[in-house]
Amino acid sequence: MMDSLYIAWRYVTWNRGKSLILIASVTLIAFLPLALQLLLDESEQQLRSRATDTPLLLGAKGSALDLVMNSLYFDDSMPPRIGLDASEQVDASELAYAIPLYMRFRARGFPIVGTSLDYFDFRSLRIGEGRMMTLLGESVIGADVASKLGIGPGDSLVSSPDNLFDIAGVYPLKMKVAGVMERSHGPDDAAVFVDTRTAWIIEGLGHGHQDLARTGDSSVILQKDDDSVTANAKLMQYAEITADNIDSFHFHGDSSIYPLTALIVQANDDKAAALLRGRYQDHDSYQVVRPVDVVDGLLENIFRIKTVIDGVIVIVGLATLLTMVLVFILSLRIRQDEMDTIFRMGCSRMTMARLLLAEIVIIVAASALLCAILLTLVSANSASLVRYLLLS
Amino acid sequence: MYLKSTRYPVRFISFVTIIIGMLSSPCAMAAGSVSEKLVVYSVNYPLAYFARRIGGEHVDVHLPVPAGEDPAFWMPDSDTITAYQQADLVLLNGAGYAKWVDRVSLPGRRRVNTSASFRDAYIPVEQSVTHQHGPGGDHSHAGTAFTTWLDFSLAAQHAQSINAAMSRARPAMADVFEANYQKLARDLEKLDREMQRVAGQYADRPMLASHPVYQYLARRYKLNIESVTWEPDVMPDPDEWRMLSRKLQAFPADVMLWERQPLPETRE
């Protein structure tokens, strides 16, 4: 058998072009469904684990999928907003505790997530470098943000303008980076976290400016009497919150309607969760969803698509196998003289069959090896590949 | 000696001891976590006092305001804010007291607004200038009076909130906290009655206050108080004396409340 393998090996290496094409075809046919399965398993694991860790989400009525994808994976989908009073209502129910989320703005391509410090406890996120944000205007960034932008504690990040062509829109805010989170291998690694009030300042609901009642610069005053002062457009609003100007920052309007995109609702127990879901079942403005249900629905659709892809792969695989058979039959015809010579030298038909079988074994073995290497690479990078291909 | 002479070898006894030790260690750890002191950070002295009275030896109460600083207008540094962030409970006064609270990040779950239950009883502060800029329209930075504890009935409600928050944080100690709170509530009730008796002697009698911080005291005990803004350790300037004279013509007060002893020259 070793002799047959050696002669087959010599043949395969002599006809490199043909052998490489065959190896590539077999490799791809084996690799594609296996790699797809690996990535789907990883995406299922990633999607489900985060969804399972998040018991309930409260948001505005609308697409539950947008709400979950935005709140859990910080994707670009923008669910309708809810007011801060929704959070107060949940807390007042004494059935659960609400963690606010407000995700609308970005800084250098990364999502700015407005939340409270409870979020970090909830997700078991720890500071790796620097410290937790303490003052308004400070941020803590995920490990990917730090490594990709090359920034760390003490540096600054500027929020991106809402709309490049809307000159009267949201002012960019320069945010100090207070700390960098330890890598969590999840969407939190690629997020910029700020206090919800900092996000509202970016939104323009809060701002800081010189004290109009005490300013010596009369050119900023349009009108002044005992009860009111009206400033003109010259009044500069601070674009960065510092220790010197933080006292001047204030919010306007009814705080109960300050916007949020979602609430992570931590119910006291299963009974409280059921009661809370019942209360919001027919609510006019809000919905309470179990992220794991929404993600399971999404995965069901993904697996339905996978069945179609599997079918296509089976047909392509069959076509490749038939092509391989054809290649071997044709190569036998081309090698007719070679076969005759071997036959005249005294080799039996069985020996010739063994030679052909050895060639097939070598090609399949080479394909299996290549496929294993590629699958190992995919497997090693499946988490980041899934985040890049499916969840980004 | 006994072990050697009986049917149980020492190795077996050691094995049983280790197993019992392993089984009891989680209980010991659990007991340890329950008896661990509750770390409480407060924004002012009254709340810190109530927390100490209610928690006793089971709480570690901190009020990191440096001596000489007014807790209502103090701004903590980053290290102090971090300490507040890491506390088991952060006791806030509410009613706009300690403005720094609105400018820092504190964990919502461990933050307790001890006056939330009587939010409707806050006294709005008048005389604030409105201003206008940008598209937001008129607005003012008016707030509410924040020295809520000067009304002892409200002080008892602060204490009740602290008791509830501590009991939620340490359910195993709830009975102890409740008993301590009841004692404190009785003391505050006694003070309230005493204050009503004393204030009854000054009913409708015009009184001046060195600072506009006695709104709750005046409302609860029916005192007729008007305020200036004088510091006890600073001699008022001639303008302030003139303004006082004008005020006294319309409001003939012969008693003035100070948060501490004024300078002898001022008193004379």
For A340-368, the pLDDT digits (tens) are 888 888 888 888 888 888 888 898 899 99
* B102 and B151 both lie in a single domain: yes
**B138 backbone dihedrals φ, ψ, rounded to 5°:** -60, 140
Percent above pLDDT 70 for chain B: 81
Asked if B180 and B48 sit in the same domain, the reply is yes
Residue B219 included in any domain:
yes
Distances (CA, A) of A53 to A78, A81, A123, B108: 22, 23, 8, 20
Q: Beta A56-60 vs A286-289: how paired, if at all?
A: antiparallel
Phi/psi at A138 (5° precision): -95, 160
Do B174 and B58 share a structural domain? yes
Which of B158, B178, B199 is a domain's end point? B199
Q: At what angle do helices A16-53 and A291-334 cross, to 10 degrees?
A: 170
Looking at the fold, whether B103 and B218 belong to one and the same domain comes out as no
Query: For tokens 């290649």, what's the residue?
Result: A327
* Predicted local distance difference test score (pLDDT) of residue A235: 66
Regarding whether B260 and B149 lie in a shared domain, the answer is no
pTM for the full predicted model: 0.76
The verdict on B195 and B94 lying in the same domain is yes
Query: Cβ distance A264 to A101 under 8 Å?
Result: yes
Residue of A88, A135, A211 for testing the chain B interface, max B β-carbons within 10 Å:
A135
How close does chain B come to A240, measured CA to CA in Å? 14
Q: What's the mean per-residue pLDDT of chain A?
A: 86
Q: How many residues does chain A have?
A: 392
Residue-wise pLDDT for B209-237, tens only, equals: 988 899 999 999 999 999 888 888 888 88
Shortest CB distance from B109 goes to which of A97, A136, A253?
A: A97
Residues B189 and B207 both lie in one domain: no
Task: Count CA atoms closer than 13 A to B59's CA, side-chain side.
Answer: 32
pLDDT at A390: 64
Q: What is the mean pLDDT of residues A15-31?
A: 86
A375 within 8 A of A34, measured Cβ to Cβ: yes
Q: Classify residue B8: in a domain, yes or no.
A: yes
Query: Strands, E, within A108-234: which ranges?
Result: 110-115, 127-130, 138-141, 156-158, 174-181, 192-195, 206-208, 221-224, 228-231
The answer to whether the Cβ–Cβ distance between B102 and A235 falls below 8 Å is: no
pLDDT tens digits, B120-136: 999 998 655 455 554 44
Average pLDDT over residues B65-83: 91
Chain B contact set for A250 (CB, 8 A)? 141
The reply to whether B24 and B77 lie within a common domain is: no
Q: Is residue B133 part of a domain?
A: no
**Is the same domain home to B77 and B148?**
yes
pLDDT at A167 over 70: no
Q: Is the pLDDT of residue A16 over 80?
A: yes
Does position B108 have pLDDT exceeding 70, yes or no?
yes
Residues of A with CB under 8 A from a CB of B: 97, 99-100, 116-118, 121, 131-136, 138, 195, 197, 209, 212-213, 226-232, 235, 237, 246-247, 249-250, 252-253
Q: pLDDT tens digits, residue range A218-252?
A: 666 666 666 666 666 666 677 788 888 888 888 87
Q: Give the pLDDT of residue B23.
A: 43
- Kindly list the domain boundaries of chain A, sorted by start residue: 2-46+298-391, 79-205+253-288
**Max Cα-Cα span within chain A:** 119
Pair B95, B46 in one domain: yes
Do residue B145 and residue B20 come from a single domain?
no
Contact A97, A91 (CB under 8 A): yes
Identify the domain boundary among B199, B221, B239: B199
- Asked if residue B20 belongs to a domain, the reply is yes
Question: Phi then psi for A76, rounded to 5 degrees?
Answer: -75, -15
Q: Do A252 and B130 touch (CB under 8 A)?
A: no
Q: What is the mean pLDDT of residues A42-49?
A: 83
Comparing A254 with A175, the larger pLDDT belongs to: A175
Enclosing domain of residue B263: 202-267
- For residue range B231-249, list pLDDT tens digits in order: 888 888 888 888 888 888 8
Q: Is residue B88 located within the same domain as residue B143? A: yes
**Number of domains composing chain B:** 3
Least confident range of A147-151, A162-166, B127-131, B147-151: B127-131
